[in-house]
Amino acid sequence: MRYRNATAYRFLTPYLLIFAIFWIWPIISSFLISFQATRTVPWRFAPTFNWGRLIGDPAFFNALKNTLLILVIQVPVMISLAVVMAVLLNSPLLKARGLYRFAFFAPVVVGEVAYSAVFRLMFSLDFGIVNKLLNSVGLEKIDWFSNVTPAMALIMIAVTWRWAGYNAIIILAGLQSIPDDVYEAATLDRVSKLRQFFYITLPLLKPVIVFCAVLSIIGTMQLFTEPFLITERGGPGGGTETLGLLLYRQGFRSLNFGYASAIAYTMAGLAIAITLVQLWLTREPK
């Protein structure tokens, strides 16, 4: 190695050490642990113990089903909403744009516990403002926390509230990179505003939207906070338990690290697989 490079690597050493200890090693380690039976002392190597259990575990498939259900409903809804919000934010008619931009971004910086507590209050059966509003327009009150369907809806609403603005800001940046004169040319070509959106804006936003979708898929695969805090550990009765929550339950409640590691690898593998499919479906035509 040339001396100049050696110096550079010496400066990098502290970072590389920490990276190796706290990133690389846990990743390798949990892979190895996933092949060990960790309920016995000492742990012993048993390659099918955790993975075999995973394939036949109804709790795993329940969590997987819940996670994927949230994924296929919440991500498209949120991204669509984010696109609409970004287009509105970009409108020249809008006053106080900076204020809206901040407001849209704010949910991301609010503490998770605080935001979950507020959601629990808002959706509470007897005191919640949401049920009050439903009542006032003549609808039945909904018991958001004790029925599975409303509880899932609540999780999706909460996640969407928290991340839609964030995605809208990213999409807004993409919108602003589309030059005005392209739209002017389209106007001269007698293309209506609506068609301009579908034939010009959306195709040009595609890379940004794909980026947001990938981030959201990865995030949702790991979903933990909302079902943990808002629907109280995946309640009612595991109805909103996600893979992230199952992992936590297995790893840190039952201290079954081998099984938790297998779940973690399944989550990562699924996120990668779904993302690859997504990228393949939306690839640029040659």
Partner 1 sequence: MAAVTLTNVVKRFGTFEVVHGANIDIADGEFVVFVGPSGCGKSTLLRMVAGLEDISGGEIAIGGKVVNDVEPADRGIAMVFQSYALYPHMTVEQNLSFGLRMNGNPKADTQRRVKRAAEILCIDELMQRRPKQLSGGQRQRVAIGRAIVREPQVFLFDEPLSNLDAELRVQMRVEISRLHKELGVTMIYVTHDQTEAMTLADRIVVLKAGNVEQIGAPLDLYDDPANRFVAGFIGSPKMNFIAAQVVDLSNSAATVELVNHGGARLRKPLCGPLPAAGAEVVLGVRPEHFFEAGEGDCDIPVKADVAEHLGSVSYVYADAGPEELIIEREARRQRASSDRFTVSIKAERSLLFDKTGARIR
φ/ψ (deg, to 5) at 88? -65, -45
Q: How far is the CB of 276 from partner 1 (least distance, A)?
A: 23
* Cβ atoms of 205 and 175 closer than 8 Å: yes
Angle, vertex CA 103, rays to CA 217 and CA 117, nearest 5: 70
Interface with partner 1: number of residues (CB under 8 A): 17
| Cα–Cα distance for residue pair 258/39, rounded to 1 Å | 8
Task: State which residue, 73 or 191, has the beta carbon closest to partner 1.
Answer: 191
Give the range of 86-94, 113-121, 189-197, 235-243 binding partner 1 by CB under 8 A: 189-197
Q: Which two tokens stand for residue 194?
A: 């609506």
Give the range of 37-45, 111-119, 160-168, 182-190 binding partner 1 by CB under 8 A: 182-190
182 counts as binding partner 1 under rule CB under 8 A? yes
Q: Which two tokens stand for residue 128?
A: 């919640």
SS3 content of the chain, % helix, strand, coil (to 5): 75, 0, 25
| Cα–Cα distance for residue pair 95/38, rounded to 1 Å | 59
Residues facing 221 on adjacent strands:
none
Using CB under 8 A, pick the residue from 195, 254, 255, 269 that binds partner 1. Answer: 195
187 counts as binding partner 1 under rule CB under 8 A? yes
Q: Which two tokens stand for residue 12?
A: 């990098």
Task: State which residue, 16 or 182, has the beta carbon closest to partner 1.
Answer: 182
Task: State which residue, 204 or 229, has the beta carbon closest to partner 1.
Answer: 204
Q: How far is the CB of 205 from partner 1 (least distance, A)?
A: 10
Task: State which residue, 140 or 284, has the beta carbon closest to partner 1.
Answer: 284
| Cα–Cα distance for residue pair 237/230, rounded to 1 Å | 14
Interacting residues with partner 1 between 196 and 225 (CB under 8 A): 199-200, 203-204, 206
Q: How far is the CB of 6 from partner 1 (least distance, A)?
A: 42
* Cβ atoms of 130 and 194 closer than 8 Å: no
| Cβ count near 10 (within 10 Å) | 9
Q: How far is the CB of 184 from partner 1 (least distance, A)?
A: 5
* Cβ atoms of 226 and 47 closer than 8 Å: no
Binding mask 110-129 for partner 1 (x = CB under 8 A): --------------------
Q: How far is the CB of 196 from partner 1 (least distance, A)?
A: 9
Using CB under 8 A, pick the residue from 10, 190, 194, 281 that binds partner 1. Answer: 190
Task: State which residue, 126 or 189, has the beta carbon closest to partner 1.
Answer: 189
Using CB under 8 A, pick the residue from 1, 3, 189, 194 that binds partner 1. Answer: 189
* Cβ atoms of 79 and 163 closer than 8 Å: no
- The size of the chain, in residues, is 286
Q: Which residues bind partner 1 (CB under 8 A)?
A: 179, 181-182, 184-191, 195, 199-200, 203-204, 206
